[in-house]
């Protein structure tokens, strides 16, 4: 998974999966029960995470350090909220719902990344 396009496609898939799970668990994200909205919303979120999120992290580095990394939860929520503002069919009811969705998407990202890392590591040992 060293190629940038492959990494971006995996990031897109994980973002879409995380949005779908967050919408199902929270009920505060409305995607009109259409899979296309979740997939395109995941694409918008993946683009935001690739371009805007690193800038947000650099700008808020003092807050991240002072909060021992907990401010990253706010940044994740901000990216979800921004994705819902840029792609209006994906509607997040409020900023707190975006923060909770960001936590769920982060957990899904962590789980998928660890599974993929274990799979790659196991295939290299053979």
pLDDT tens digit sequence for 64-122: 999 999 999 999 999 999 999 999 888 888 999 999 999 999 999 999 988 888 776 67
Kindly report the number of other CB atoms within 10 A of residue 15's CB atom: 27
Q: Which tokens hold the place of 103?
A: 């936590």
Three-state secondary-structure class, residue 30: strand
Whether the pLDDT of residue 124 is over 90: the answer is no
Give the helix/strand (H/E) hosting 33.
none
Domain boundaries of the chain, sorted by first residue: 16-121
Question: In this predicted structure, what is the pLDDT of residue 126?
Answer: 63
Three-state secondary-structure class, residue 92: strand
């Amino acid at each position: 998974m060293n190629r940038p396009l492959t990494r971006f496609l995996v990031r897109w898939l994980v973002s879409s999966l995380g949005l779908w799970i967050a919408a199902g668990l929270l009920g505060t994200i409305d995607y009109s029960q259409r899979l296309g909205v979740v997939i395109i919303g995941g694409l918008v979120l993946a683009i935001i995470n690739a371009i805007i999120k690193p800038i947000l992290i650099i700008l808020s580095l003092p807050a991240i350090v002072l909060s021992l990394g907990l401010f990253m939860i706010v940044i994740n929520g901000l990216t979800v909220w921004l994705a819902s503002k840029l792609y209006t069919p994906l509607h997040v009811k409020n900023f707190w719902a975006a923060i909770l969705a960001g936590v769920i998407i982060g957990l899904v990202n962590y789980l998928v990344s660890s599974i993929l890392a274990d799979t790659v590591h196991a295939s290299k040992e053979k």
